[in-house]
Amino acid sequence: MCEFISWIKLDNEIVYLNDDCLKDKKGRELRRHLGKAYKEDVKGHGAIRWYYDIEDNVGVNQECESANIKNYPKQIIEDIKNCKFKEIGFNLGFLTELALKKYQDIKQPAYEKYLDIEQPAWKKYEDIQQPALKKYQDIKQSALKKYQDIEQPAWKKYEDIKQSAYEKYLDIEQPAWKKYQDIKKPAWKKYQDIQQPAFWDLFSVKKNRIKTLK
């Protein structure tokens, strides 16, 4: 996964994704193609190559995370100024100190709400997973010791016991992990749905931008 923002340099041009791309037919297909990883992967070179049908060995992958606007291609600078990356990502370095404080005031409570949901879910998962893992390890170590005592004849027995114990561990751990993910993912999405628009709402007001982007 790349960071905001990525582009591919071809012989006489650069190509990249902006909000206009993501609204057209191919952009909607890209959303379906990326699936659950859309939020993270849409900013990367893989998404750009898929959208423009560019082979992996064609062009040069480039990206920039700098707040220095001189490090970006001119057409990307124009799209940043016109707020055309709301669906892709953001760079907090583009905000003034005052606007950044406002952003943090919006982001922090949203992140705390996410943690309020995610952390208890993680603890429930650990409460199930850790004893199951310890039981598996205890059985495995005991079986390994028996194997070491009688060497080769015991190897198959060790493998049989270890595999059975591991399958029992997975039977306990995997549903617990799924339950944790089912709780975490919607909470994380809610957080993302708040923090990224918050940046662009602030950035769209020119007084909130650093001088080079006004």
User: pLDDT tens digit string along 178-200?
Assistant: 999 999 999 999 999 999 999 99
List the single range of 50-59, 144-153, 203-212 with lowest mean pLDDT. Answer: 144-153
Place of tokens 């071809």: 10
Strands 14-15 and 6-9, how do they pair? antiparallel
Chain centroid to Cα 13, Å, comes to 29
Length of the chain: 214
Of 57, 67, 53, nearest to 15 by C-alpha is: 53
Confidence of residue 75 (pLDDT cuts 50, 70, 90): very high
pLDDT of 40-69, one tens digit each? 999 999 999 999 999 999 999 999 999 999
pTM: 0.69
Q: For a pLDDT cut of 90, what percent of the chain falls above it?
A: 84
Place of tokens 């591919």: 8
Which letter does DSSP use for residue 209 in this model? B
Which letter does DSSP use for residue 59 in this model? S
What is the model's pLDDT at position 3? 63
State mean pLDDT over 12-41: 94
Q: Mean pLDDT of all residues in the chain?
A: 93
pLDDT of 82-132, one tens digit each? 999 999 999 999 999 999 999 999 999 999 999 999 999 999 999 999 999
C-alpha span between 125 and 97 (Å, rounded): 40
What six digits make up the tokens of 16? Answer: 């990249």
Please check whether residue 8 is in contact with residue 48, taking contact to mean a CB–CB distance below 8 angstroms. yes
Helices (H), 83-209: 97-150, 152-203
Residues forming beta bridges with residue 15, ordered by sequence position? 8
